[in-house]
Amino acid sequence: MFSFRRTDIALALSCFAASSYTLAADYVDLHSWTQAGASSAGNWSVASSGHSVYQSINGNPTAFMSTEKYSYRTFKGKIKVDSNAGDDDWIGFILGDPNSEFYIFDWKKGDQSGAKKGYKLIHHKGSLASFQAMGWGPSHESNTSTNTILARNTSKGWTHGTSYNFEMQVYANRIVTKIDGVTIFDISGLDIKPSRFGFFNWSQGKVNYNAIEQLYPPIAANITEEIVQGVSKTVRGSWTDQNNTDTHSCKLLGQPRYGSVTFVSPCSFTYVPDPDHDGAQTFQYRVTDNSNLYTDGTVTLNVLSAGSSIVMPHYIEAEKTTNVNMKLKSEGTSVFDNPNISVTNMPSFMSFDKDTGILTMKPDLDDLGLYEDIRFKTSNNGLGSYDAGVFDLAVIPQNNNDFLKQSFVVVPSDTPLADYQDNLVATIKIPALKSGEDKLVEGPHQVTIKADASNLAPVIIEGTEISPGESVSMTIDLVRSGTSIPMRYSSKEEGVSKVTINFPWIDSPDDLRYVIQRTCASTDSSRCSPVMEMDRTKVPNGQVQVAIRKAVDASYLTYGFAASNWASTDLANQISGLTNDDIVAVNLNVNNSYTKALLSALSSKLGNSELTSAIGSMGADSSFVYQVGKGLESFKTDSGYRWGTSAVTWINLDD
């Protein structure tokens, strides 16, 4: 039988019932069967029809067995001890090899010499002779190294002259016995090799086995499939049945260790993998026919690790190695290869080590600049691919940053000034700075200050001592009209001290702004956590995260909230007030009616067809960046792969 578990790809295989050359009631021809045990112990007479056999001798253990060996078969018929037979001992059935190992299901009428009435299911490793040698009582009541009582039921003995309907179901790991439709034993966990089947008597004669027929249970198929993590898979049950008139039903038996399976009538199983665990995942299903015969099939899904929740930096420094763990390996124990990763628009300074999952970036000074639309996709053994993210990446210099050179003026006083330690003091005047939008720059900005190697002594700026030839990075709070920075010269002798001040290129006249985004739904991998950052401004966590940059005054608004609360924020007012060049970034970590209302308000206000189309396809795990008047800068949505979406977007305000 087929049975699939769920991952994130949808696939269906057809179920079928094999045609049969037998009738529903297939009577056994006992003419080919043979006696087992001592020849003097039994006298088995087969009727001319071949459908019944009579055993007349009251003696030692004797059996009458098939020459064919069976793995899956059900035997039914009638058993009766003549009214004038006398005695009260064992009648029943045998399965296995009477010379080496077998199972016996037998039935005793009454208690006698330590042997109890009722039913027994016994596993004996030996021959009928060794079974006899144990004696009546021990063979039916004692567990030894060669004899195991698997089950007992002493509630009832058989009656002379009464015909009983018997049934014995034989499986590879299970034996079911019934008398008059009542299940006496149903024992599983056995290891039954293909075996001969037959009838068994011990110290009981005049026993008739009549109308012996064999039925064929449906045989559920064991299925092994290789699937990629992050893709749901649907499997339909498959089986064979030699009874071509039977009808069948299916059901799911339990769940795999990781991931979940859903049963879909009539016989489909959809498996969704756990995004944090790969490796072999198994579950079972059962196929039952209209005679209530059934077998179980095992589905083994070899789940290949393929997911990733990538966190890429928005910039790296030249002449410096930066490593990123791509988190490709599942948190569970994997017996399979790590996934491959392919990169579109991959810079030459990037390399990926599949064995370690590490992305290494080592740019040199020739690599300075902005690299856009670097796209990562993962796959394993050719089974689909996962879009792990699209990123813009800036490469900036470590020192002597020349992306923005601003002049400065050393303004000496008429008389040299000195601090209380008599160090000479001067003032560095940084003039008003304008951005690429022709806006005055203010607030904290990172600067790199280098003291010239020709200086005779260290300089001290903002409490940091800078030796000749040394560079340091610090944050300066810029004033819109110009910024004065006091500088101390650590010498009592007058002289010339030269310094160079460079501003990182992210505040260059190009006026590039960046947005870092990662969205994660509640069912996503534990490796995924939502992130949103716009120009060093971090956005609070929430089911919905929004950042807005207002062009008119370069101010930033951030929101993180439960989707149901969005209308209670001032976000609706801010959306209605958006104007050209404003930037809007949105993370959706959930998808419901509230997020649809939010997106509808955005779409109505902005009226951009590209954005409207993107919004129409957004689910949980979606993000976009939009600049009013210019269009959609980036858009990303997950299709149920359950590792979230990741993106880094750089925006040139001068475009």
Asked if residue 479 and residue 385 are part of one domain, the reply reads no
Q: State whether residue 551 is helix, strand or coil.
A: coil
Instruction: Give CA–CA dist 475/468, Å, rounded.
Output: 20
Positions in the chain whose pLDDT score sits under 70: 1-25, 329-336, 399-426, 434-446, 489-496, 503-512, 639-640, 653-655
Q: How many CB atoms lie within 10 A of CB 495?
A: 10
Pairwise CA distance, residues 46 & 34, whole Å: 10
DSSP string of 127-193, one letter each residue: -HHHHHHT-HHHHHH---SSEEEEEEE-S----TT-EEEEEEEE-SSEEEEEETTEEEEEEES----
User: How many other C-beta atoms can be found within 10 angstroms of the C-beta atom of residue 447?
Assistant: 22
Residue 15: per-residue pLDDT? 35
Cβ contacts of residue 2 below 8 Å, gap of 6+?
13, 15, 221, 223, 235, 236, 237, 238, 267, 269, 297, 299
Residue 7 belongs to a domain: no
Residues 142, 74, single domain; the answer is yes
Residue 269: per-residue pLDDT: 97
CA contacts within 13 A on the Cβ side of 269: 34
pLDDT at 401: 43
Please state, in angstroms and rounded to a whole number, the distance separating the CA atoms of residues 348 and 190.
61
- First-to-last alpha carbon distance for the chain, in angstroms, is 61
**Residues 227 and 150 grouped into a single domain:** no
Q: Are residues 365 and 453 in the same domain?
A: no
Look at residue 83 and tell me if it is in a domain. yes
Burial class of residue 28 (count of CB atoms within 10 Å of its CB; 0-12, 13-18, 19+): buried
Torsion-angle region of residue 221: left (phi > 0), alpha (psi -120 to 50) or beta?
Answer: beta
Q: Could you give the CA distance from residue 438 to residue 253 in angstroms, rounded to a whole number? A: 69
Q: Could you tell me if 167 and 243 lie in one domain? A: no
The answer to whether position 310 is within a domain reads no
| CATH assignment at residue 339 | 2.60.40.10
Domain boundary among 279, 304, 329: 304
Q: Are strands 163-170 and 73-81 parallel, antiparallel or unpaired?
A: antiparallel
CB 392 within 8 A of CB 385: no
> Using CB atoms within 10 A of its CB, is residue 557 exposed (0-12), middle (13-18) or buried (19+)?
middle
149 near 120, Cβ under 8 Å? yes
Q: How far is CA 141 from CA 138, 186, 353, in A?
A: 5, 19, 65
Contact 510, 370 (CB under 8 A): no
Please report whether residue 520 resides in a domain: yes
**pLDDT computed for residue 640 by the predictor:** 67
**Residue entry with tokens 């610090």:** 474
Q: Are 637 and 617 in contact (CB under 8 A)?
A: yes
CA distance 270 to 248: 20
Report the number of secondary-structure helices (H) and strands (E) in the chain. 5, 49
Find out whether 505 and 437 touch, Cβ atoms under 8 Å. no
CA distances from 449 to 18, 396, 471, 485, 501 (A): 82, 16, 6, 12, 5
Residue 231 lies in a domain: yes
Q: By residue range, what is the domain housing residue 540?
A: 512-652
SS3 at position 609: helix
Residues 556, 607, single domain; the answer is yes
Do residues 441 and 345 both lie within one domain?
A: no
DSSP output for 498-535: -EEEE--GGGSTT-EEEEEEEE--TTS-TT---EEEET
Helix (H) or strand (E) holding 603: helix 593-606
Asked whether residue 2 is assigned to any structural domain, the reply reads: no
Q: Are residues 99 and 143 in the same domain?
A: yes
CA angle 641, 646, 649 (to 5 degrees): 150
What is the three-class DSSP state of 330?
Answer: coil
Are the C-beta atoms of 649 and 392 separated by less than 8 Å? yes
Choosing from 168, 197, 215, the residue where a domain stops is 215
Identify whether 403 is part of a domain: no
Residues making up the chain, counted from first to last: 655
| Residue 546: partners with Cβ closer than 8 Å, 6 or more residues away | 539, 557, 558, 559, 560, 571, 584, 585, 586, 587
Residues 77 and 200 in one domain: yes
The token pair that represents 325 in the structure block: 């763990």
Cβ(509)–Cβ(404) under 8 Å? Answer: yes
- Report yes or no on 15 lying in a domain: no
Work out the widest C-alpha separation in the chain, in whole angstroms.
141
Overall number of domains in the chain:
5
By the 10 Å C-beta count (0-12 exposed, 13-18 middle, 19+ buried), 402 is classed as exposed
Distance CA 49, CA 207 (A): 17
255 and 162 inside one domain: no
Q: Are 134 and 125 in contact (CB under 8 A)?
A: no
- CATH number for the domain including 107? 2.60.120.200
Asked which of 480, 503, 526 is the last residue of a domain, the reply is 503
Q: Which residues contact 265 (CB under 8 A, 6 or more apart)?
A: none
- 612 and 523 share a domain? yes
Judgement on whether residues 568 and 628 belong to the same structural domain of the protein: yes
Give me the pLDDT at residue 491, please.
Answer: 60
